[in-house]
Structure 1
C-alpha cells in the first residue's frame, strides 16, 4: 500500500500546486474517515459492554449515531473540499506564461506551441517552463481521451470538436509521467506521454529547436 504513495504517477507525490491540493485533500479525507470510523467503533463497543446503553431505543442510535454525529466531520470535509477544489482548477493560479495545445488521437498526443496551433510541435513529449504556469488547451481527433499528469494536476477530458483547458505548474525542473485516464480502445494502456519541466531559459531554447511540423522530438 505504501508503494502507491510515491512514483512517477502517484498523486501523493506532488510536484506542483494543483497536485498538492489533490494530495492534501486526500490526506484530509483519510483523516476524516478515520475519525468517523473511530467514533462508530466507539459506539459499537459501548453498546456491547455498557448495560446502561443496552436499553437505548434503536431510533436514538440511528438519529444520534447515524445522523447527528457525522454532521460536524462531514461539514468540515465539505468546506475543505471546496477550498482545495479552487486550487485544483486554477482559481488562484498565476496568469499563464504560455499557452500550449495538446491534441489527442489513437494513441498519441500531438503538442503544438505558440498561438492558434501555429508554432513548433512535438509528439508525446510536453515541454513546460519550471516555476511558471502554463495553460494546456486539450482536444481530440477521434474519441474521448483524458489528459492527466498525476504529479502536476488533476485530469481533464479531451473531447472531439471541443476544447478544454487546464493549467499546469511544476515547482522545479524534472520529468513527469502523463497518461490517458479515459479508456479509449485497445491501445489505451500504451497512450502515455512525458512532461519535461525546464528552467525558463532552457525552455525557450528547446522550443526554438523543435520542428515546425508535428513529429517526434
Structure 2
C-alpha cells in the first residue's frame, strides 16, 4: 500500500523539476536523520534498561543534558530550518523567463500567459518549456485553493484578495498531474489539471497558436446553437461575439487533452454528456445541465466544439 503511492504522474518523488528536487533532497535527509536519531534514542533506552545501575557524577550528567538535549537539537533543527527557508526563498522568487497567472475558481483553473503581445488565456491546462524558470502568480476567485504540481515543485495557497508566487523550473519532459491541495468544497477532488513540459521550440509554437483567435465561420450551425443556448454569456471564444467572463475560455477547447478540469478525456462522447449531464459528471459546479439538447442539435453543437483547435 505504501509503494502504490510512489508511482504515477502525481508522484512527488518523481522530481521532474528543479524545485521538486530541492524539496525531495530535504525530505530524504530529514527522513534518514530522523531514523538515526530514533535508533540512538531507542538504543540508549535499551542500554539504560539492561545496564547495571551505577551512580553518575552531577557534572557529567549536566554535560550530557546540555550537549545532547540542548545543543545538538538546536543545531540540527536550526540547520534544517535555515535550509528549508532557503528553498522557500527560491520557490517563491519573484522572477522568471515566463509569467503565468493562475486563478483558482470552483472547481477549475483560469490560466493566463503574459506575453509581450498581450495576455493569452486558456483553462485547466498548463504548458511549460523545458529548462526555463516559470513564475506563477496565483490568486483565487472565491475560496482558498492550493496550487500543486507534485513532480515539479512545492504547493502554494491561493487566497482571495491576495497574490502569492511560485517558481517552477521543469527538468524532464512529460505530462505531470496538478491538483488543488486545499479542501475547497464539494468538487475539490475533481479539481485537477495537466502540467505538460515541452521542448522550448514546441512550446513557443503552441503559445503562438494559443494566442490566435478561433477559426469560426459566422454561419456555422454549431456556433448558432452555441449562441442560441446562451453559452456565450459565460464562455469566451476569441474572434467571435462570445465574450463571457464567467466560465473557462473555449477558444482552443479541443486542443486540450482533458475536459472538466483534468477529469475526463476530450472526446465527443464526453463533451455531449458534459453538456446534458453536467451535475452528474461534476457535482456542485455552477454550469447548468442542458438535458433538452438531444439528437442532431446536440451532435451539431458537439462537432462545433470539437473543431475549436
Measure how far apart 1:77 and its partner are: 4.6
**Unpaired runs of at least 5, structure 2:** 214-237, 239-248, 257-309
For 1:75, the equivalent position in structure 2 comes to: 75
For 2:154, the equivalent position in structure 1 comes to: 154
Where do 1:44-83 residues align within 5 Å?
A: 44-53=45-54, 64=64, 68-69=67-68, 71-72=71-72, 75-83=75-83
**Secondary structure of the structure 2 residue equivalent to 1:126:** strand
State the alpha-carbon separation in 2 of the partners of residues 185 and 68 from structure 1: 49
Q: Is the 8 A contact 1:29 1:77 kept in 2?
A: no
State the alpha-carbon separation in 1 of the partners of residues 6 and 78 from structure 2: 24
Q: Which has the higher contact order (CA 8 A, sep 6+)?
A: 1
Measure how far apart 1:84 and its partner are: 4.2
Q: Indicate the larger mover: 197-206 or 43-52.
A: 43-52
Q: Indicate the larger mover: 112-121 or 205-214.
A: 112-121
1:130-189 CA-partner distances (Å, limit 9, x unpaired): 110010111111111000111111111111122111111110221111110110001101
Where do 1:80-95 residues align within 5 Å?
A: 80-90=80-90, 95=95
1:3-40 CA-partner distances (Å, limit 9, x unpaired): 33333222222111111111111111111111111111
Measure how far apart 1:45 and its partner are: 1.1
Provide the aligned C-alpha RMSD in A: 2.9
Q: Is the 8 A contact 1:131 1:171 kept in 2?
A: yes
State the alpha-carbon separation in 2 of the partners of residues 36 and 118 from structure 1: 54
Q: Is the 8 A contact 2:148 2:179 kept in 1?
A: yes
State the alpha-carbon separation in 1 of the partners of residues 92 and 110 from structure 2: 28
Measure how far apart 1:96 and its partner are: 1.1
Are the structure 2 counterparts of residues 105 and 8 from structure 1 closer, same or farther at C-alpha, using a change threshold of 3 Å? same
State the alpha-carbon separation in 2 of the partners of residues 180 and 117 from structure 1: 30
For 1:126, the equivalent position in structure 2 comes to: 126
TM-score by length of 1: 0.86
1:32-69 CA-partner distances (Å, limit 9, x unpaired): 1111111111111111211135x569xx989946x642
Residues matched between the structures, number: 213
For 1:103, the equivalent position in structure 2 comes to: 103
Q: Is the 8 A contact 1:143 1:159 kept in 2?
A: yes
State the alpha-carbon separation in 1 of the partners of residues 178 and 124 from structure 2: 9
Are the structure 2 counterparts of residues 207 and 169 from structure 1 closer, same or farther at C-alpha, using a change threshold of 3 Å? same
For 1:20, the equivalent position in structure 2 comes to: 21
**Unpaired runs of at least 5, structure 1:** none
Are the structure 2 counterparts of residues 139 and 183 from structure 1 closer, same or farther at C-alpha, using a change threshold of 3 Å? same
State the alpha-carbon separation in 2 of the partners of residues 154 and 190 from structure 1: 20
TM-score by length of 2: 0.62
The structure carrying a bigger strand percent of its residues is: 1
Are the structure 2 counterparts of residues 165 and 95 from structure 1 closer, same or farther at C-alpha, using a change threshold of 3 Å? closer
